[in-house]
Amino acid sequence: MGKNNLKTITFFLLLQTILTAAAFAAGFLSRDHLANQSNIFPILTQAYNILKNHGLKELPAFSSLQYGMVRGMLQAYDEPHTTFVEPPQHELQTNQLEGKFGGIGSRLERDPDGYIFLFPFADSPAVLSGVQEGDRLLAVGNLQIDADTNMDDILAAIRGPVGDKVILIIGHAPEYLPLAVTIKRDEVSLPSVTWNIAQGDPRIGLIQINTIAATTPKETQRAIDDLMERDASYFILDLRHNFGGLVDAGVDTAQLFLEKGDAIISEQYRGQDEETFVAKQDGPFKEIPLVVLVSNQTASAAEIIAGALQGQGRAQLIGVPTYGKDSIQLIFDLDDGSSIHVTSARWWIAGYGSITGTGLQPDIILAEENMQDQQPVQAAIKHLLDE
CATH code of the domain covering residue 243: 3.90.226.10
Q: Is pLDDT at 228 greater than 70 in this prediction? A: yes
Whether residue 37 lies inside any domain: the answer is yes
pLDDT surpassing 60 at residue 383: yes
SS3 220: helix
Q: Are 287 and 154 part of one and the same domain?
A: no
**Do 378 and 269 fall into the same domain?**
yes
Instruction: For residues 337-355, give the mean pLDDT.
Output: 91
Same domain, 298 and 365: yes
- Given this model, what pLDDT does residue 6 score? 52
Is 1 inside any structural domain? no
Query: Which of 165, 189, 213 is the endpoint of a domain?
Result: 189
Name the more confident of 33 and 311: 311
Q: Are residues 224 and 148 in the same domain?
A: no
Would you state the pLDDT for residue 316? 97
Show which of 144, 168, 189 is a domain's final residue. 189
Asked if residue 254 lies in contact with residue 304, where contact means CB atoms within 8 angstroms, the answer is yes
**Residue at 87 is within a domain:** yes
Beta-carbon neighbour count of residue 302 at 10 Å?
35
Which CATH number characterizes residue 170's domain?
A: 2.30.42.10
Note whether 244 and 210 are within 8 A (CB). Answer: no
Determine the average pLDDT of the residues in 234-247: 95
Residues 228 and 361 in one domain: yes
pLDDT interval class at 39 (50, 70, 90): low
pLDDT number for residue 350: 77
Regarding whether 378 and 280 lie in a shared domain, the answer is: yes
- Asked whether residue 189 carries a pLDDT value surpassing 80, the answer given is no
**366 is a domain residue:** yes
Compare 343 and 2 and report the one with higher pLDDT: 343
**pLDDT attached to residue 188:** 82
pLDDT of residue 9: 45
pLDDT at 330: 94
Percent of the chain residues topping a pLDDT of 70: 89
Specify the pTM: 0.75
Domain-located, residue 62: yes
pLDDT per residue over 248-259, tens digit each? Answer: 999 999 999 999
Question: Within this chain, do residues 201 and 332 fall inside the same structural domain, yes or no?
Answer: yes
Q: Greater confidence, 4 or 216?
A: 216
Residues 132 and 265 in one domain: no
Can you tell me the distance from the alpha carbon of 283 to that of 186, in angstroms, rounded to the nearest whole number? 34
Q: What's the rounded mean pLDDT across residues 50-55?
A: 94
User: What is the average pLDDT value for the chain, to the nearest integer?
Assistant: 87
Q: Look at residue 24 in the predicted model and tell me its pLDDT.
A: 26
169-187 residue pLDDT tens: 999 999 999 999 999 999 8
Please report whether residue 96 resides in a domain. Answer: no
Q: Count how many Cα atoms sit within 13 Å of the Cα of residue 254 in the half-sphere of its side chain.
A: 32
Q: Domain of residue 177: give its range.
A: 101-189
Does the residue 129 lie in any domain?
Answer: yes
b/e burial code for range 7-46 (CB count within 10 A of at least 16 → b): bbbbbbbbeebeeeeebebbbbbeeeebeeeeeebeebbe
Q: Which residue among 150, 168, 189 closes a domain? A: 189
Is residue 183 located within the same domain as residue 74? no
Region 28-56: mean pLDDT is 71
Beta bridge partners of 166: 183
Same domain, 374 and 229: yes
What domain count does the chain have?
3
Residue 41 sits in the same domain as residue 118: no
Asked if the structure places residue 295 within a domain, the reply is yes
Question: pLDDT tens, 319-328?
Answer: 999 999 999 9
Check whether 107 has a pLDDT greater than 80.
Answer: yes
Measured torsion, CA atoms of residues 120, 121, 122, 127, in degrees rounded to the nearest 10: -30
Regarding whether 244 and 169 lie in a shared domain, the answer is no
CA distance 149 to 352: 46
The lowest-confidence range among 86-90, 203-207, 335-339, 356-360 is: 86-90
